[in-house]
Structure formats: C-alpha cells, structure tokens
A and B are shown apart, each in its own frame.
Chain A
Amino acid sequence: DIQMTQSPSSLSASVGDRVTITCRASQSISRYLNWYQEKPGKAPKLLIYAASTLQSGVPSRFSGSGSGTDFTLTISSLQPEDFASYYCQQSYSTFTFGPGTKVDIK
C-alpha cells in the first residue's frame, strides 16, 4: 500500500499570509495527487487534481506543484473562508488520503 504523510499537521496563520502544505508519498505516484478542503460539518471539496490542475470554480490563490513523491499545496493569500482542513490523496494505486493539515486563525 502507498502511504501518505503531510506536514505540518496544523498551522496557525493570519488573513493575507502565504501558506504552504507539504505531502509526501511512500513511493512514486507520478502526478496522481489530489488536494481536498474540508470544513466542519461539510463534505470535502476537490481543490486540485493531477498535482497542479485547479478544479473548476476554485480560486486562483490555490496552487499545487510536485511530482513523484513530493508535493505542495500553496495558498498565496489566505482568506477567512480558507480556514479549514486540507487533505492530499494519491490516486495512483487505489486511494490513500494523507492525515490532513488543519489551518486555523492565529
């Protein structure tokens, strides 16, 4: 099975900050890496697929990069509605989610 790790597990940031979350796979997954945002009481929402492609309707302040085993999600200027948890997911071999990163208000 492919294992996924994320760092940090949580972070505190202010509106306007640049935020970067890292995701690492236990083996190469090419670019089969997706990012989701989850807010309390709501279903997860797809933000980015194929490592760097923005899902329709997602603000351009979100971006993704990476390939192979190392990936990043960047929020260029954090907005109030971005305080949430973020999960990476590999879809190279079945599916595995990362443990998540909680972004809260500093």
Chain B
Amino acid sequence: EVQLVQSGVEVKKPGESLKISCKGSGFSFSSYWIGWVRQMPGKGLEWMGIIWPDNSDTTYSPSFQGRVTISADKSISTAYLQWSSLKASDTATYYCARRDYGLSDAFDIWGQGTMVTVSS
C-alpha cells in the first residue's frame, strides 16, 4: 500500500525545538517530491515547502522561509519538518503529502497529520 505515516501528537512549550517525521512506503520515496502543509485550528491549508529526497533539494514558501527547516533521509524513506524555537502561533496540524508530476503536480497521497500544540 502506498502511504505516508507521520509521527504522533506533540505538546511543547514556547522556545522548545521540535522535529516531526513523515515515512513513506509502497513507492520509491526518492523519486517523488514531498511537501508539507500547515492547517491552523479552524483555518485553511497553507503550503510550507517541498523537498526532493534524492538530493534534499528544497523550496520554501516565502511565508515559512527561515521559520522551519525541511529535510529528508532517503535511506529510511523519511522526510522531516523541524523548528528551532517554537511559538504559540505554530500550534497547528501539519501534513506531509506526495507530489505527483503525472497528476499535474497535485498532492495525491497525504499523511494522517501531526497535531502540534505549543503552550506554556
């Protein structure tokens, strides 16, 4: 089965660091761009950035550049999203998704989401 499985719920304090993960299976992970999407509580979807796991080529949305770091380890088919210093405004559900060139670059496979709560 083609799937992306994300790491679990996180509860952190402001100023703490965090790294969440997204593991692919059932497809050649290194041959697809993997994107990250934020959904703040009660809000819409926001594209954050995307990575090519084969060489870690990464593009960020200007809205998230410098605020997060996207990385990948192709040897274990896993992409990561990390923060060095969390803020309360980072409270959201974060999704990873696979970009498919053959489908007009749409995101065809999504992870189940990782809920991150940042609160003192």
Contacts and interface: CB of A to CB of B under 8 A. Distances in A.
Interface in A1-42: 1, 31-34, 36, 38
B110 to A, nearest CB: 4
B95 A44 contact: yes
B108 interface: yes
B45 A97 contact: yes
A34 B106 contact: yes
Chain B contact residues (Cβ within 8 angstroms of A): what range? Answer: 20 to 34
A44 B103 CA distance: 16
A89 interface: yes
A71 interface: no
B103 A55 contact: yes
A44 B111 CA distance: 9
B107 interface: yes
A43 B111 contact: yes
Contacts of A34: 103-107
Interface in B22-74: 35, 37, 44-47, 50, 59, 61-62
A96 interface: yes
Given A97-B45, A97-B46, A46 B103 contact: yes
A97 B110 contact: no
Contacts of B112: 43
Contacts of B113: 43
Contact of A44 (B45, B59, B62, B99): B45
A60 B38 CA distance: 29
A47 to B, nearest CB: 10
Contacts of A94: 47, 50, 59, 61
A49 B44 contact: no
A44 B110 contact: yes
B35 A95 contact: yes
Contacts of B99: 91
Interface of B: 35, 37, 44-47, 50, 59, 61-62, 95, 97, 99, 103-108, 110-113
